[in-house]
Amino acid sequence: MLAKEIGEFNLIKRMSDILGNSSRQIIKGIGDDCAVINPPSELLQLVTTDMLVEGVHFELSTATPYQIGWKSLAVNISDIASMGGEPTYAFVSIGFPRNVTVEFVDEIYLGMRDVAREYGVDIIGGDTVSSPQVIINIALLGEVEKDCYILRSGAKQGDLICVTGDVGGSSAGLEILQKKLNINGTEKHLLPRPRLKEGRLLAKSGYVNAMIDISDGVSSEIHHICEQSGTGAKIYMKDIPLSAYVQSVANIVNKNPYDFALFGGEDYELLFTCQYDKFQYLQELVYNNCHTPITCIGQILDKSELITIDDLDHRSIPLLAKGYNHFV
């Protein structure tokens, strides 16, 4: 059924029905000119927004509407996770072509609903417009204790640089989709799982000095941290955690697996720096609570030092800040 057969208001009603009731005490959700919520009293308010555009961030030929819905909210949750916060309320502004079907819209909202439920988010408003391409902008609120939020700018000389999980899997999956190869393992690209619980544990530990989520690739994120912290850094290529999947995709498409990890992006793992002597404690803390491994991949250096990577032959080379960049 075409959405235009039921009209904008019925379409919004369907979205609201799919999303169901809010899990929090709210004064007014979807259905009025504004949502009305109680501000977090003792906490700081986090606010983030991310936009996904058909043809730039996803293709309808390689991602299902459910996956698009999931990912559009997941990437915002990852931003809250990287601050050490807890996500709360989301607002979804969405544009569809005029000939969109109701079923397509339903599927997008089912994907958003599932990730919202899993991570404790309530979608309580938005806007719906027609647009030549599918476009989704989500604004997400979150909360964090006053002494708990983690910025990119807090890295200190001597800190270890660490990542959760493994990296490169998302862009390896994208390569598989783009080359239309019949290989499983594209979930990390299509249905990313933000490291929310891990981010909370790390932030609350008090031993993490800087944190960022990996949306543009490890190299870009290291540059962001170093730039904002006023430091240099050294990365050890041999220590970058690659899954067997990344290695095998790299073999098949004849690419360097570390390129996926360093320059690929969209892994939505957390990259953070911590006090040298607290690494093992944090590793155990996160593994025991989340079964997520943490790997040390390098160290923060004085600002007089460059950002370099030791390659597999132990040669030190500059780490380029290339990753996905919309304007190059």
Residues that bind Mg ion (CB under 5 A): 127
Which of ligand ADP, Mg ion, none does residue 92 bind to, with CB < 5 to 8 Å depending on kind?
A: ligand ADP
Question: Is 157 a residue that touches ligand ADP (CB under 6 A)?
Answer: no
Distance CA 268, CA 322 (A): 17
Least distance in angstroms from the C-beta of 97 to ligand ADP = 15
**Interaction residues for ligand ADP, span 34-53 (CB under 6 A):** none
Using rule CB under 6 A, residue 27 touches ligand ADP: no
Distances (CA, A) of 182 to 176, 178, 328: 8, 11, 31
Does 128 help bind ligand ADP (rule: CB under 6 A)? yes
Instruction: Identify the CA nearest to 137 among candidates 37, 82, 38, 57.
Output: 57
Q: Which helix (H) or strand (E) holds 274?
A: strand 270-274
Tokens encoding 289: 């609570």
The answer to whether 82 and 199 have CB atoms below 8 angstroms apart is yes
Residue 125 binds ligand ADP (CB under 6 A) = yes
Strands 307-310 and 232-236: parallel
- Using the contact rule CB under 6 A, the part of the chain among 26-34, 47-55, 236-244, 265-273 near ligand ADP is 26-34
In contact, 105 and 8? CB cutoff 8 Å:
no
- Cβ closest to Mg ion, residue 3 vs residue 148: 3
Q: What residue type is 190 in one-letter code? A: L
Q: Is 31 exposed, middle or buried (0-12, 13-18, 19+ CB in 10 A)?
A: exposed
Residue 327 structure tokens: 């304007």
* Candidate segments 27-35, 239-247, 270-278, 291-299, binder of ligand ADP by CB under 6 A: 27-35
Site size for ligand ADP, by CB under 6 A?
Answer: 13
Query: Which stretch, 126-134, 167-175, 257-265, 297-305, contacts ligand ADP (CB under 6 A)?
Result: 126-134
Pair of tokens at residue 122: 């309530």
33 binds ligand ADP (CB under 6 A): yes
- Strands in 122-130's sheet, in edge-to-edge order, are 44-53, 135-144, 86-96, 122-130
The residue (of 128 and 248) whose beta carbon lies closer to ligand ADP is: 128
Q: Are 86 and 24 in contact (CB under 8 A)?
A: no
The 299-328 site mask, x for binding ligand ADP (CB under 6 A), equals ------------------------------
Is position 94 an interface residue for ligand ADP (rule: CB under 6 A)? yes
Q: Distances from the Cα of 12 to the Cαs of 8, 99, 104, in angstroms?
A: 6, 16, 13
Smallest gap from residue 95 Cβ to ligand ADP (A): 9
Nearest to 269 by CA among 167, 201, 200, 161: 167
**Binding of ligand ADP by 30 (CB under 6 A):** yes
Binding of ligand ADP at residue 250 (CB under 6 A)?
no
| 32 binds, options Mg ion, ligand ADP, none, Cβ within 5 to 8 A by partner type | ligand ADP
Q: Of ligand ADP, Mg ion, none, which one does residue 15 interact with (CB within 5 to 8 Å by kind)?
A: ligand ADP
Binding site for ligand ADP (CB under 6 A): 12, 15, 30-33, 92, 94, 123, 125-128
